[in-house]
Amino acid sequence: MAATSELDRVSMVVLRYMRGPVFVLIIVYAIGITGMALIPGRDADGNVEYMNLFHSFYFFTYTATTTGFGEIPSEFTDEQRLWAILCLYMGVVAWLYAIGSTFHLWKNPHFLLALNEHRFARKVRRIQHPFFIICGFGDTGSLLARGLSDHWMRAVIIDTNPERIKALALRDYRVSMPGLCADPAVPKHLVDAGVLMPNCKGVVILTVDDEVNARIAVMSRLLNPDIHILCRSTRKRHIEHLSSLGNVTIINPFEIFSQLISMAITAPRLHNLNACLVHNPKAKLGKPIAVPTGNWIICGYGRMGRWLYQQFVRNGIKPVIVDPNAGNVKGAAMVINRHANRESLEEAGLAHAAGVVAGTDNDHDNLSILMSVKSSNHDAFTILRQNRHENQIGFDVTDADLVLQSSLTTARRVLKHLISPQVQQFVDYLRDQGEDICALAVQRLKSMIGDEPPHLWHCCINSKEASSVSEHLDSGKSLSLGQLRRDPHDLDGLIACMPLTIKRGEECIMLPGDDEPVLPGDEILFCGTEHSEVMLSATMNNAYTLDYLISGRDKPRGYIFRWLDDRGNTATTQS
């Protein structure tokens, strides 16, 4: 239905814009052909003859292109030649007008918009694999699209900025990601993006305006009551409204970062593992950072500063707040209602501070605060807020201990949800179990992958994602995780991957052992390397490889060789 509508729009624009040139061509051709057919001519014997309509059309056609093929079927009279001259000028002018109108049509914004929407809807309809809709292709959307591409996951992108959609075409993604320059809050655009398609697995809303995000979320829920929505929102009013929609995951980067800081204070090993799972390039597996718990200074009491303050107080830290608009903050050690500079920082006790948060909404102010801190108290732990992704190079050369980039924090959390909701469940499980269990999990993972960055992937034991395993289990045979993870090149070894969770119906098994049976319908979250994902996928979808790993014997594959092998086994059994 949507495709037909877009095609109709394209046709309508073409017909309305080109009807003038088409009418001119028709009238000019009609006049020219009629005139040539009515003007009498002479044959070779001097008899009067009239050109038929076919010859008139043929003559006018090649005359209009300024191409001469002679006078047919007989030499023209002067009257016919005079009319031919008139036809030549009329045809050339008409065609120049039509061709010029065609060029102008390709510059018509309404035509280009309709054509782009038609092409976009057609590309989306051709997607056969699961995909997500990303509304907003700013810093966060761009980072998320790159993460999805790295995991071979597809997305459809809508953004109102034409320059961002043009930039999308230049990205070297592993999979195709169609983009449309349009308002994602318009229902027709969401339908074109595939919100009603069965293989659309979710809508990710990442624009910078919370109000716009809420409108898109409401429209998505009305169009598809069952679809999962992930929405960026930082304001309480919008968060409460989104929560009432149902099946909505709300992403607040400032709340997430404050939770990560709390995790770094209370569970540094888990914080390190979580950072490695989301591909933080500065995090090394098994090397957690140590966040001090002494006196802290928070510069900037905005959205980020308020969340960090709550987490500090929850962990027994009463920080000093430096912000001209902070007012009176209950529970703070001190509030300095001035801009953060060297003088106000010294008044806040910078010389003896354990850590400083540079969390204003201005990147240059945050960098200036960092430089002041490092010059006065080089040992202080520093947390730096980065507001704009375009300043990445400047922030990379700083020696801040932690950097909050709102877009990156949001993209990483969304990516964890899209890979599998079990990722966050696993992190929450380790938080509840304590640092000792987390240390054992990290040690086990590190022994498998070494210093390589951990790679997460999710697979379901069904005929689409694990055809050989599904067929093996359907035949009544058993299979354990240890057998599934055996290395085809070394049956005594294992593929460099570790099962983190198994979702079996309503049950979720954490850190399953090698003797855990694999059952149909299991959703397994693995962590390892990209190469191990490829090897495991080959095992789960190749019956010969799976049989070899289970039996330890490479059976013949050809029909004749299998027949000979069966006869040999029968003879051995009888003897």
Question: Tell me, what DSSP letter sits at residue 77?
Answer: P
Q: Which of residues 157 and 102 earns the better pLDDT score?
A: 157
pLDDT of residue 100 exceeding 90, the answer is: no
Within this chain, do residues 403 and 505 fall inside the same structural domain, yes or no?
no
pLDDT of residue 125 exceeding 70, the answer is: yes
pLDDT of residue 9 exceeding 80, the answer is: no
115 within a domain of the structure (yes/no) = no
494 within a domain of the structure (yes/no) = yes
Closest CA to 223 of 177, 183, 185, 181: 185
Q: Which of residues 572 and 550 earns the better pLDDT score?
A: 550
Count CB neighbours of 330 within 10 A.
Answer: 6
Band of the pLDDT at 5, cuts 50, 70, 90?
Answer: low
Contacts of 162 (CB under 8 A, 6+ apart): 181
- On whether the CB atoms of residues 156 and 194 are closer than 8 A, the answer is yes
pLDDT of residue 566 exceeding 80, the answer is: no
Strand partners, 334: 320
Band of the pLDDT at 559, cuts 50, 70, 90?
Answer: low
Phi then psi dihedrals of residue 391, to 5 deg = -95, 15
Residue finishing a domain among 381, 404, 419: 419
- On whether the CB atoms of residues 210 and 234 are closer than 8 A, the answer is yes
Confidence (pLDDT) at 1: 41
User: What are the CA-CA distances from residue 401 to residues 283, 370, 393, 397 (Å)?
Assistant: 11, 11, 16, 12
Closest CA to 153 of 536, 533, 541: 533
Confidence (pLDDT) at 10: 65
23 within a domain of the structure (yes/no) = yes
Within this chain, do residues 519 and 448 fall inside the same structural domain, yes or no?
yes
Count CB neighbours of 444 within 10 A.
Answer: 11
How many residues are recorded in the chain? 575
pLDDT of residue 4 exceeding 50, the answer is: no
* Of the ranges 59-68, 472-481, 559-568, the best mean pLDDT one: 472-481
Q: Which of residues 225 and 111 earns the better pLDDT score?
A: 225
Within this chain, do residues 213 and 269 fall inside the same structural domain, yes or no?
no
Structure token pair of residue 517: 């049976």
Band of the pLDDT at 3, cuts 50, 70, 90?
Answer: very low
- Using one digit for the tens of pLDDT, what is the confidence trace for 282-295? 888 888 888 888 88
The mean predicted confidence, pLDDT, of the chain is: 86
520 within a domain of the structure (yes/no) = yes
Q: Please report, rounded to a whole number, the percentage of residues in the chain having pLDDT higher than 70.
A: 93
Confidence (pLDDT) at 103: 79
Confidence (pLDDT) at 570: 56
466 within a domain of the structure (yes/no) = yes
User: What are the CA-CA distances from residue 288 to residues 277, 280, 308, 378, 435 (Å)?
Assistant: 13, 12, 20, 20, 12
Return d(Cα 411, Cα 575) in angstroms, integer.
Answer: 66
> At which residue do the structure tokens 């088409």 appear?
22
- Using one digit for the tens of pLDDT, what is the confidence trace for 358-385? 989 899 999 999 999 988 888 899 999 9
Within this chain, do residues 402 and 274 fall inside the same structural domain, yes or no?
yes
Band of the pLDDT at 561, cuts 50, 70, 90?
Answer: very low
* Of the ranges 189-193, 489-493, 553-557, the best mean pLDDT one: 189-193
Return d(Cα 522, Cα 219) in angstroms, integer.
Answer: 33
Residue finishing a domain among 187, 220, 251: 251
Within this chain, do residues 267 and 394 fall inside the same structural domain, yes or no?
yes
Indicate the helix (H) or strand (E) that contains 272: helix 268-277
Confidence (pLDDT) at 2: 45
Q: Give Cα 94 to chain centroid, integer Å.
A: 49
Phi then psi dihedrals of residue 434, to 5 deg = 105, 170
Task: Give the up-direction half-sphere exposure of residue 543: CA atoms within 13 A in the CB hemisphere.
Answer: 11
- Using one digit for the tens of pLDDT, what is the confidence trace for 409-467? 899 999 999 998 899 999 999 999 999 999 999 999 999 998 888 999 999 999 888 99
Average pLDDT over residues 80-86: 86
Within this chain, do residues 225 and 297 fall inside the same structural domain, yes or no?
no
> At which residue do the structure tokens 């394209």 appear?
10
| pTM of this structure | 0.77
Q: Tally the domains of the chain.
A: 4
Average pLDDT over residues 37-44: 83
Within this chain, do residues 221 and 299 fall inside the same structural domain, yes or no?
no
Band of the pLDDT at 25, cuts 50, 70, 90?
Answer: confident
Return d(Cα 547, Cα 561) in angstroms, integer.
Answer: 16
Within this chain, do residues 458 and 482 fall inside the same structural domain, yes or no?
yes
Do β-strands 486-487 and 490-494 pair in parallel, antiparallel, or remain unpaired?
Answer: antiparallel
119 within a domain of the structure (yes/no) = no
- Report the greatest alpha carbon distance in the chain: 119
Average pLDDT over residues 209-221: 93
- On whether the CB atoms of residues 555 and 548 are closer than 8 A, the answer is yes
- On whether the CB atoms of residues 489 and 477 are closer than 8 A, the answer is no
372 within a domain of the structure (yes/no) = yes
Do β-strands 320-322 and 200-205 pair in parallel, antiparallel, or remain unpaired?
Answer: unpaired
Structure token pair of residue 460: 């379901």
Count CB neighbours of 141 within 10 A.
Answer: 27
- Using one digit for the tens of pLDDT, what is the confidence trace for 221-280? 999 999 999 999 988 888 888 988 988 999 998 899 889 888 988 899 999 999 998 888
Structure token pair of residue 84: 């031919």
Confidence (pLDDT) at 569: 54
Return d(Cα 281, Cα 294) in angstroms, integer.
Answer: 28
Closest CA to 511 of 413, 443, 417: 443
Band of the pLDDT at 554, cuts 50, 70, 90?
Answer: low
Q: CATH code at 26?
A: 1.10.287.70
114 within a domain of the structure (yes/no) = no
* Of the ranges 47-61, 104-118, 452-466, the best mean pLDDT one: 452-466
Within this chain, do residues 219 and 325 fall inside the same structural domain, yes or no?
no
Structure token pair of residue 464: 């689409």
Average pLDDT over residues 174-191: 92
Indicate the helix (H) or strand (E) that contains 527: strand 523-528
Return d(Cα 290, Cα 267) in angstroms, integer.
Answer: 10
Question: Tell me, what DSSP letter sits at residue 132?
Answer: E
Within this chain, do residues 136 and 202 fall inside the same structural domain, yes or no?
yes
- Using one digit for the tens of pLDDT, what is the confidence trace for 501-541? 999 988 999 999 999 999 999 999 999 999 999 999 999 99
Return d(Cα 129, Cα 352) in angstroms, integer.
Answer: 57
**In terms of C-beta density within 10 A (0-12 exposed, 13-18 middle, 19 or more buried), how is residue 198 classed?**
exposed
Band of the pLDDT at 75, cuts 50, 70, 90?
Answer: confident
Confidence (pLDDT) at 196: 94
The domain of 325 spans: 259-419
Helix axes 422-433, 435-449, angle to 10 degrees: 130
Average pLDDT over residues 492-501: 90
Within this chain, do residues 365 and 512 fall inside the same structural domain, yes or no?
no
Residue finishing a domain among 419, 452, 470: 419
- Using one digit for the tens of pLDDT, what is the confidence trace for 126-153? 999 999 999 999 889 999 999 999 889 9
Amino acid in the structure at residue 372: S
Return d(Cα 283, Cα 114) in angstroms, integer.
Answer: 47
Within this chain, do residues 458 and 532 fall inside the same structural domain, yes or no?
yes
